[in-house]
Amino acid sequence: MSHCCPPSRSPGEARVAVDVPGVGPTNTDGLITLPGGTFRMGTDAADGFPDDREGPVREVTVAPFAIDAYAVTNARFAEFVDATGYRTEAEAFGWTYVFAKFVPAALRRGAPRPEHAPWWLGVTGAYWRAPEGPGSDVEARQDHPVVHVSWNDAVAYGHWAGRRLPTEAEWEYAARGGLDQARYPWGDELTPGGEHRCNIWQGRFPVHNTEEDGHAGTAPVDAFAPNGFGLYNVSGNVWEWCADPFGPTHRAMRGGSYLCHESYCNRYRVAARTRNTPDSSSGNTGFRTAADV
């Protein structure tokens, strides 16, 4: 099944070296501390994606830990880059995947388009601070999630911040917000009382986004109501890297993004998951951090 999830860099693309800061002391400032415990992880729902191994439902126990209420913002990532001089993999490779509709016509010509996901373009010069390529910026998006960050970039940020990526079990435990086996972080209905609760795609993907939820691309990290544990935007907005491997060469991502649509890729369900290679990046993938307590 084809879907909106971000494509990967070619494994044959020349590796680039990125300087990773040393591991800093654990810092839980501003994180939400959760008690941990045993919960039912995954789903056996018929409209899940068996190939993603969302099931079977199993009891999983997580130790107490702390986690970001929000995805890491552009403002926060800028502090990291300013403090360390860190260069992301999108900068080192010289390009990253941008949703094609967001790319100005002048930058579209000759931009590589993945065969199985033609709504993505590999845009030269795009990176977290120029998310749609040269000429774009994040000035008006300081409180939006940083995007075009690879798994390796997220880990590097964690070294600097005294954080780590959440495991998938921690992520899902936190994202469920205390609800047992609910479909979404807030319950079973996508739009309870007609109210949008997350930033996903409305309309016909990938040609027409009616933006009924108020957003075409990323939304501020504190948009919409939080879940029962106080976490914002675990569903939709941007995919979030997790610590775990997904198969031999990929890393797990959770939560879905502003490109997910119910007819197509309903991976904003709280049990849904996808993957990418650790050096890949795109305009709909970011991360939130966690720490031991």
Site size toward Cu ion, by CB under 5 A: 5
Is 160 or 241 the residue whose CB approaches Cu ion more closely? 241
* Rounded distance between C-alpha atoms, residue 201 and residue 206, angstroms: 9
**What residue spans of 135-238 are helical by DSSP H?**
151-161, 168-176
Residue 56 three-state SS: coil
Give the one residue of 130, 175, 242, 260 binding Cu ion; rule: CB under 5 A.
Answer: 260
Q: How far apart are the first and last CA of the chain?
A: 40
Minimum CB–partner distance for residue 290 and Cu ion (Å): 23
State yes or no: residue 267 binds Cu ion (CB under 5 A).
yes
Report the C-alpha dihedral over residues 226, 227, 232, 234, rounded to 10 degrees.
-150
**What residue spans of 35-129 are helical by DSSP H?**
74-84, 89-93, 105-108
Minimum CB–partner distance for residue 136 and Cu ion (Å): 23
Residue 121 pairs in a beta bridge with 98
State yes or no: residue 175 binds Cu ion (CB under 5 A).
no
Minimum CB–partner distance for residue 61 and Cu ion (Å): 29
State yes or no: residue 72 binds Cu ion (CB under 5 A).
no
* Rounded distance between C-alpha atoms, residue 184 and residue 234, angstroms: 9
Pick the closest to residue 114 from 14, 205, 5, 204 (CA basis). Answer: 5
Is 234 or 265 the residue whose CB approaches Cu ion more closely? 265
- Write the interaction track for Cu ion spanning residues 106-145; mark x where CB under 5 A is met and - where it is not: ----------------------------------------
Q: At what angle do helices 151-161 and 74-84 cross, to 10 degrees?
A: 70
Minimum CB–partner distance for residue 191 and Cu ion (Å): 17
Identify whether the C-beta of residue 267 lies closer than 8 Å to the C-beta of residue 54. no
Identify whether the C-beta of residue 235 lies closer than 8 Å to the C-beta of residue 190. no
Identify whether the C-beta of residue 106 lies closer than 8 Å to the C-beta of residue 32. no
* Part in contact with Cu ion (CB under 5 A); list of ranges 32-40, 133-141, 218-226, 265-273: 265-273
- Write the interaction track for Cu ion spanning residues 210-249; mark x where CB under 5 A is met and - where it is not: ----------------------------------------
* CA angle in degrees (0–180, nearest 5) for 87-65-73: 35
* Rounded distance between C-alpha atoms, residue 271 and residue 181, angstroms: 9
* Part in contact with Cu ion (CB under 5 A); list of ranges 48-56, 82-90, 173-181, 254-262: 254-262
Give the one residue of 265, 270, 272, 291 binding Cu ion; rule: CB under 5 A.
Answer: 265
Is 164 or 254 the residue whose CB approaches Cu ion more closely? 254
Is 169 or 265 the residue whose CB approaches Cu ion more closely? 265
Is 231 or 259 the residue whose CB approaches Cu ion more closely? 259
* Part in contact with Cu ion (CB under 5 A); list of ranges 87-95, 111-119, 172-180, 250-258: 250-258
Q: Where on the chain is the footprint of Cu ion (CB under 5 A)?
A: 4, 256, 260, 265, 267
